[in-house]
Structure 1
Amino acid sequence: MPPGQEASSAGWASSSMLERDLELTESDFTRIRQLIYERAGIVLAEHKREMVYSRLAKRLRHHGLTRFGDYLARLERQPAAKEWEAFTNALTTNLTAFFREAHHFPLLAEHVARQSGPVRVWSAAASTGEEPYSIAMCLTEALGPRAKEARVVATDIDTEALTRARAGIYPMEQVRKLDESRVKRFFLKGGGERIGLAKVRPELTEMVEFESLNLLAPSWAVKGPFDAIFCRNVMIYFDKSTQAKILARFAPLLKPDGLLFAGHSENFSYISEVFRLRGQTVYVLTPKR
């Protein structure tokens, strides 16, 4: 052993060395990957084993179970059980921020300013609400008095995230990243027990409708037409065939000149002929021949 290694490693262990109190077998992990794919279209890579263990371990302990196999068997015996919702929520990743991928919002503002009639935008992966509220702020700034008629439909498969989104309460350090003018215009600062928190103002929350929606469901409750659809940083969790099916279902819900906003690491050009790239990860419907 190299000199000094005893001191540097004493009392420490890698995550693979730590003794686990719950049993997760290879077949359990394979079954979890199959179930979340069937349920939500999410493709879990082999290296996600540690994430799966840490997130689902809470559900096993909640039910007093020690083996993942018993937990999965319980799920499969009850296809309509409420626990499926918790299972899906646990394996859903929510990484978001206000005005994330900021270059999209001036494009949205320019687009909706040219529209006549009420503006409608769909945030198809709303997570904890930062994206749909950012869209609502953008519409308010771009439309002026017409913003009262604008609506943002915000959906997500994660019901816990949607509960947080509906509350519209965020840590001040997160809100302070916005321009000061936006903070003053769109948020209320908390006091007393709410110190350090900020709440989205009612005039903004009234513009946003939150609903639970699984993009893999055979039917969607949302109704078009929309001036724009935001589906950013969610398609990366699906395989190409699932992506193509979802894109085909987006098409009839968009107005003929509507915009589809994708995440910075997503490219739909090689997946579907329904949409063509306009630029800056923004897509438009391909003209019919």
Structure 2
Amino acid sequence: MRFENVLTGFIPEARGRDGLTLAVLLARQTGARLTVAAVKPPAWGPPGPARADAGAWAAYLDEQAAATLDQARELTGELAGKEIGENAAYLAYTHKGSGRGLVELARKRSADVVVIGSAPSGGKDRIALGSTADQLLHASPVPVLLAPRGYADEPPAALERLTVAYRRGPGADAAVKRAAAIATGLDLPLRLVTLVLRSGRPARAEEEMLARLRDQAAADLKSAARGHRRRTQVEVEILEGRNVAQAMRAGTWLPGELVICASSDSGPLRRVFLGDTSIKIVRAATRPVMILTRQP
């Protein structure tokens, strides 16, 4: 899997800067072309005398979109220098929903990934799923990459490692294969992690159950890593906790870590579709998370 065209949606807010910072980082490291989009609402105009007001509203929306893209262009230049900033495409796109607009734009621009920031309701270094992310995570034809809130405040100099949240199944195995290809292309190590959750049962029953789960997880991770170590460095790790958030905190996360999740096996083919566990991982992660599309 290669990244040749990175698309990011930008708004003149902190979450817009977070998403753009991550998009620039990915474009710079992969050599991809960057497309920055400002999705603006349509200027619906009533018939009759009110059309003049509708025209003024449309002009205002165009002016706001142009100002937004000017800010994005300046910020991109600061983050990436003239080479990426001047070669990037900056465009306004009209749609009622920002996420659905980015879905359409991803198809039209042949994007390889869509990058956005967290909704403002999330805590520092956390990802919250707002309406834009929700629309993308149910319809995007390409992977979606989410930046945690505040990512632009102290961004890493480069991506350092890819971590795949692994649970045995066709979707996760396909995700490992695609992640291994990305890691090889970027000359990065790959880590496969499986979450083992405690049930809260009586102590003896709990320990017996956990021992079986650990053994099964270790066997699954060994099998998943087999064949990929010839191309890149692959680590495996079991993260344990009473819930997904606690298990995620048990791991060690590099500043330039990128987490990869597979779409749910029950979702539509070649679309992003999150299952319950993946949603919990996204919300618990303190690093950017990429959700891959479901492959046949």
Task: State the TM-score, normalized to the length of structure 2.
Answer: 0.32
Bigger Rg, structure 1 or 2: 1
Task: State the TM-score, normalized to the length of structure 1.
Answer: 0.33
Q: Which has the higher contact order (CA 8 A, sep 6+)?
A: 2
